[in-house]
Amino acid sequence: PPYPPATASLGGVPSIRPDVPASAVFLVLFLICGITHVLILKKNKARDHKFIFNGPLAAFSFVRVVTTSLRIAWANDPASIKLGIAATVFVYAGTILLFVVNWFFAQRILRAQHPHLGWSKPYRMIHAVGIVAILVSLVLIVVGAIQPFLTLDTAVRHIDHFLYLAGETYFAVFCFAPFIVVVISLVLPRHGTDKFGAGRFRNNISILTAATLFLSCGAFFRCIIAYDPIPLRDSQGRPILPPSYYSKASFYCFNFLTELLVVILYAITRVDLRFHVPDGCNEPGDYKRKSAYSIALIADEAKLKRRSTRRASTETNLTIEEYDGSLFDDSRTLANSLRYCSTVLEVDQRSGNWKMKKVSRAPSSIMQSDASMNSSLWDLTHTPPPLPNSDWPLRDS
């Protein structure tokens, strides 16, 4: 041992063309993605914004860098069975990182829309068992894929194939599970949303759904072809040409390409902002109550300045209403503006929410411009930005 494989594998044995150029391109792209997620992780840490999932995304990217490197080495030495075994192990090893990230994102969506269900003990157990089972499935796949290289016993190889099928089947189910959780969350009746992070909530759901479907394409494709193994030789020992769906193009499309799309999608859409929840959440309502998300600290708007005003001591301020949702979706905004005269809108420094204040002052009060007194959002000498809603800084995304 190791012995040559008896059945065809997706992509087959790599060759100089086209595997080396294709693997090199994916190597560079995954390296860029890995560095990007590391930089996002470091910048978030510097501003005390805890979001650990950029770590697994970066780790997955670097695992794929190793995987593509091994495939390039295998293409230059196709007779090396040990290189083939190593490359095969790394193909399966990294995928579960993306599956687990999506599983946690789906959990947060369910807890936001159905807090009592999402924080219940039965669901917590289901969530934990799902993660443990995916780790067990990874072991089954690795054993089922590698042990046939080490034995010629037909009975053992049949057992290995059964283990491999069990692992691949659960991989496909677990990969698709976040989509099922999201659909259930949307279908069940709900009363409001315990919103978290930035951006429109429906767009965050769309991002997770797209990522889940991308990965599911690859997972179900690998699972389906595993149920119909193709022998490399017939009973007379003559070579058998594998079907077209075993081609190298299928290997790169249903493995590396789908995964790369997800890693890029999560970097571009800034899931570190969209799916962020505050620390210490452990019961319904914590996403909103414990949120310290401040719109003044994120995006380029934080670098702008607004002219503040200094009023005479005769001025009095009274907060009429504070809005934890969109100003334009809350009927109280118009009602309060009509009911009270001399009202202003401003951002609360502690909560980051918009609030309406009733301002009364003596006629002799003097407005003095002072840009250095207060940190703010715009300069009156420039055209002011449009009034943001609660989804800012990802208002339109």
pLDDT in the model for residue 288: 73
pLDDT in the model for residue 198: 87
The share of the chain scoring above pLDDT 70, in percent, equals 74
pLDDT in the model for residue 300: 42
| Strongest mean pLDDT among 81-85, 97-101, 244-248, 329-333 | 97-101
Please state whether the predicted TM-score (pTM) of the whole model is above 0.85.
no
pLDDT in the model for residue 26: 97
pLDDT in the model for residue 240: 86
Give the CATH number for residue 32.
1.20.1070
**pLDDT for 282-304, tens place per residue?**
778 777 765 544 433 334 434 43
Report residue 346's pLDDT band, with 50, 70 and 90 as the boundaries: confident
151 and 233, same domain (yes or no): yes
28 and 87, same domain (yes or no): yes
* 67 vs 140: CA distance, rounded Å: 20
pLDDT in the model for residue 350: 65
Report residue 241's pLDDT band, with 50, 70 and 90 as the boundaries: confident
Task: With respect to residue 283, please indicate whether it lies within any of the assigned structural domains.
Answer: yes
pLDDT above 50 for 313: no
pLDDT above 90 for 167: yes
Mean pLDDT value of segment 19-23: 95
117 and 78, same domain (yes or no): yes
Report residue 232's pLDDT band, with 50, 70 and 90 as the boundaries: confident
Domain span including residue 348: 295-370
Task: With respect to residue 64, please indicate whether it lies within any of the assigned structural domains.
Answer: yes
pLDDT in the model for residue 69: 96
238 and 339, same domain (yes or no): no
Mean pLDDT value of segment 75-96: 89
Task: With respect to residue 392, please indicate whether it lies within any of the assigned structural domains.
Answer: no
pLDDT in the model for residue 330: 58
Rounded to 5 degrees, φ, ψ at 89 are -60, -45
Task: With respect to residue 397, please indicate whether it lies within any of the assigned structural domains.
Answer: no
Take residue 130 and report the two structure tokens written for it. 């799902």
Write down the residue that tokens 């993605």 correspond to: 33
Mean pLDDT value of segment 211-219: 96
Take residue 321 and report the two structure tokens written for it. 């209403």
305, 378 Cβ separation under 8 angstroms: yes
Task: With respect to residue 395, please indicate whether it lies within any of the assigned structural domains.
Answer: no
**Residues in a beta bridge with 356:** 321, 345
**What total of structural domains would you count in the chain?**
2
285 and 306, same domain (yes or no): no
* 296 vs 393: CA distance, rounded Å: 9
* 349 vs 351: CA distance, rounded Å: 6
Mean pLDDT value of segment 216-228: 94
**pLDDT for 112-153, tens place per residue?**
999 999 999 999 999 999 999 999 999 999 999 999 988 888
Mean pLDDT value of segment 46-66: 94
pLDDT above 80 for 254: yes
pLDDT in the model for residue 4: 82
Question: Side chain identity at 298, as an amino acid letter?
Answer: I
pLDDT in the model for residue 194: 84
**pLDDT for 361-394, tens place per residue?**
544 444 444 444 444 444 445 444 444 444 445 5
Task: With respect to residue 382, please indicate whether it lies within any of the assigned structural domains.
Answer: no
The better pLDDT of the pair 79, 257 is held by 257
Q: Give the helix/strand (H/E) hosting 354.
A: strand 354-360
Take residue 47 and report the two structure tokens written for it. 């501003």
Q: Residues 212, 217, 218, 220: is their CA dihedral positive or negative?
A: positive
pLDDT in the model for residue 152: 86
Task: With respect to residue 388, please indicate whether it lies within any of the assigned structural domains.
Answer: no
Domain C-terminal end among 266, 289, 312: 289
Q: Report which of 218, 182, 201, 199 is spatially closest to residue 102, judged by C-alpha positions.
A: 182
281 and 312, same domain (yes or no): no
Task: With respect to residue 154, please indicate whether it lies within any of the assigned structural domains.
Answer: yes
